[in-house]
Amino acid sequence: MKIAIASDHGGFHLKQAILNFLEEKEYLYQDFGCYSTDSVDFPEYARLVSKEVVQNQSLGILCCGTGIGMSIAANKVHGVRASVVSDPFSAIMTRKHNNSNIICLGERTLGKDLALLLLDLWLSTEFEGGRHQKRLEKIE
């Protein structure tokens, strides 16, 4: 599965660390920007990743200062279930019960090591389906 990834200027350094992680783990990915710490508007990057995730049924990673802005913007795209995570339990449960398809991480709120741990947990967790699928259908 190909992963779509993007950041704004506030998440640029975290995105670079994640790109290294994805390469080490041999994940296929497409980087939708941004490509520097120059100020940009995060909704543009959230939309690029969100559309890719919905169109290709892939997973997405969005990074900004807190993860919150990216999450709000991404969730405006029909079919996206973007979640900000800050602890291991949330990273697991957002996939296991909510089948989130985009993880949102904050460079200014998480250290690199914690962010990579959360991402690894999120990527390795499968959706349980069952009663949780019925709930997702109610969201749609």
The arrangement of strands across the sheet holding 2-7 comes to 28-31, 2-7, 59-64, 102-106, 82-84
**Residues recognised as catalytic:** 64, 97
Tell me: is residue 37 an annotated ligand-binding position: no
pTM of the prediction?
0.96
Question: Which tokens is 36 given?
Answer: 């520097």
Tell me: is residue 131 an annotated ligand-binding position: yes
pLDDT in tens, 76-93: 999 999 999 999 999 999
Tell me: is residue 65 an annotated ligand-binding position: yes
Predicted confidence band at 138 (pLDDT cuts at 50, 70, 90)?
Answer: confident
The CATH class, in words, for 2-139 is alpha beta
Considering just the CA atoms, what is the radius of gyration of the chain in Å?
14
pLDDT in tens, 120-129: 999 999 998 8
Tell me: is residue 98 an annotated ligand-binding position: yes
Question: Distance between CA 31 and CA 97 in Å, rounded?
Answer: 27
Tell me: is residue 10 an annotated ligand-binding position: no
